[in-house]
Copies of this chain bind each other. A is one copy, B any other.
Amino acid sequence: MASDTTIHLSNVVVALGGFPALAGVTFGVGRGELVALRGANGTGKSTLLRLCAGLVPLTRGAAVVAGVDLLVNRVAVRPHVGLLGHRNGLYGDLTAKQNVQFVADLVGATASDVSSALERLGIDQRVASTSASLLSAGQRRRTALAALVVRRAQLWLLDEPHAGLDAAARRELDVILRDATASGATVLYTTHEIDQVAGTPRTITLDGGCVASDVASTIGSAR
């Protein structure tokens, strides 16, 4: 496999409690690509992201993510991956800033990385010093995104990152994702909003746990 392939899945089956949430998925994503994942509710998008993050085991097939073979040691993939799930992964009793700072401590980012990430996501002084559990849904989502920016992962996996964000934050998020791919990271995100997909170079659609279509958008790549 070429080293510029970040995700390589072939015939992947993931069974959750006996139910094949993914029922034979095959595709590859190259380094620096920005890919949108679509599909009806329950078609397996979240499961696919969690698989790539090393959080659920492979039942059948083969998967290599960020150079790590998930069959051999799926835990080893985690340091390369930044995941934003349906849940935000925040500590409700810490302030927004403390949350981002904690992630920075873990990955060795500096204090100025933290404040620039907070600023980028429009988290002002007041919000930054409020407990995460008291913030509005959108403010919490922004905090989680700020933590992800600080994380500087090689592979970004985002599960409906636009949901809950207001128009300004959505625009900023798109800029952040493009910046990330420009600097060599790979981004895979899910969405249910059609106008989001329009701006993305490549869209993979899942249906019934399988890939239903995989198309490059000319609009997206031109934009």
Contact = CB atoms under 8 A, between A and B. Distances in A.
Interface of A: 16-17, 39-42, 46, 86, 127, 134-139, 141-142, 159-160, 163-170, 192-195
B160 A42 contact: no
A108 B13 CA distance: 43
B164 A160 contact: yes
A216 B119 CA distance: 35
Contacts of A165: 41, 192
Given A160-B164, A163-B163, A164-B163, A41 B136 contact: yes
Contact of A136 (B42, B166, B193): B42
A126 to B, nearest CB: 8
A10 B168 CA distance: 29
A46 B167 contact: no
15 contacts: A39-B166, A41-B137, A41-B139, A41-B142, A41-B164, A41-B166, A42-B127, A42-B138, A46-B137, A86-B164, A137-B160, A163-B164, A165-B192, A193-B193, A195-B195
A127 B164 CA distance: 25
A150 to B, nearest CB: 20
Contacts of A42: 127, 135-136, 138-139
B16 A134 contact: yes
Given A41-B138, A137-B159, 15 more contacts: A17-B134, A39-B166, A40-B138, A40-B167, A41-B141, A41-B164, A41-B169, A42-B127, A42-B138, A46-B136, A86-B137, A137-B160, A160-B163, A163-B163, A167-B192
